[in-house]
Amino acid sequence: MKELGLRERKRAETANALAETAFKLALEQGLDGFVVEDIVQRAGYSRRTFANYFSCKEEAVAKSALAFGGIDEMVEMLEQLPDDIPLVDILQRLMSMQLTVGLLWKMRELVSLSKKYPTLEPFILSVFHLLQLEAQTTLAALNKGRYSEEYVLILVGAFYGAILLVVNEDVNVLLPGQTAVEGQEAMTFDHYLGMTLGYLRNGF
């Protein structure tokens, strides 16, 4: 990982603006209620610029969950880690920066949208895969030969599998700011995260 240069930052800002505009339009009007031209007009860019970043409006909506840039703090945090820190602890710190409250809520909203508009689903899965691949690549770089390649893959895969259950609401986990439905048992996200990391450290 490396810090973004000025050119990369500007590209990231453009991608963010287009994706966020597409996401807001999807919430306001539904996926069938707008076209690419509506996105670029509201965001203040050209259709050609949109085509430089996204293949279609569905991809733009889904990629609103990604942070195109903003990795400088993550780079700084990872560079300060001691060499002997367990890989699970690195994953925990990485995820605390990547899986923000805003991202988790947005992923849930995207999943909800995809139930009404199935064409969105493959793009959401692609976004989730990109997040997982970013973590996988980062951990592999910080591993320094201490663990096998298979261990890194299994560790990241297991963690993201657990997070996907939360995003899809397959498990009754409350995101920060969410209140429980009366009569239904639910655990907080922090508790679920601690439980998941405990399993990864100590076994199932």
DSSP 32: G
* pLDDT confidence of residue 100: 83
My answer on whether 186 and 133 are in the same domain is: yes
- Give residue 5's domain range: 1-63
My answer on whether 120 and 19 are in the same domain is: no
My answer on whether 55 and 87 are in the same domain is: no
Residue 3 to residues 63, 69, 99, 114, 131: CA-CA distances in angstroms? 21, 9, 19, 33, 17
CATH number for position 17? 1.10.10.60
pLDDT digits (tens, 9 = 90+) for 46-73: 999 999 999 999 999 999 998 654 455 6
Strand partners, 174: 188
My answer on whether 122 and 164 are in the same domain is: yes
* pLDDT confidence of residue 181: 81
Nearest to 130 by CA among 138, 119, 118: 138
- Output the DSSP codes for 52-121: HH-SSHHHHHHGGGS-SS--HHHHHHHHTS-TT--HHHHHHHHHHHHS-HHHHHHHHHHHHHHHH-GGGH
Token pair belonging to 135? 């973590």
Residue with tokens 């199935």: 118
My answer on whether 87 and 22 are in the same domain is: no
My answer on whether 100 and 180 are in the same domain is: yes
User: CA-CA distance, 197 to 204, in Å (whole number)?
Assistant: 11
My answer on whether 91 and 1 are in the same domain is: no
User: CA-CA distance, 130 to 138, in Å (whole number)?
Assistant: 12
* pLDDT confidence of residue 39: 98
Show which of 46, 63, 80 is a domain's final residue: 63
Counting Cβ atoms within 10 Å, is residue 68 exposed (0-12), middle (13-18) or buried (19+)?
Answer: buried
Show which of 27, 43, 63 is a domain's final residue: 63
Backbone phi, then psi, for 116, in 5-degree steps?
-95, -30
* pLDDT confidence of residue 75: 63
Query: Mean pLDDT for each 10-residue chunk of the chain (204 residues)?
Result: 66 93 96 97 96 97 77 66 84 82 90 95 93 87 87 93 93 89 86 93 84
Nearest to 175 by CA among 108, 85, 130, 123: 108
My answer on whether 28 and 87 are in the same domain is: no
My answer on whether 117 and 19 are in the same domain is: no
My answer on whether 201 and 184 are in the same domain is: yes
Residue with tokens 């703090």: 73
Domain count, the chain: 2
My answer on whether 117 and 177 are in the same domain is: yes
Show which of 11, 43, 63 is a domain's final residue: 63
My answer on whether 107 and 131 are in the same domain is: yes
Residue 36 Cα to chain centre, angstroms: 23
* pLDDT confidence of residue 46: 96
Token pair belonging to 37? 């031209």
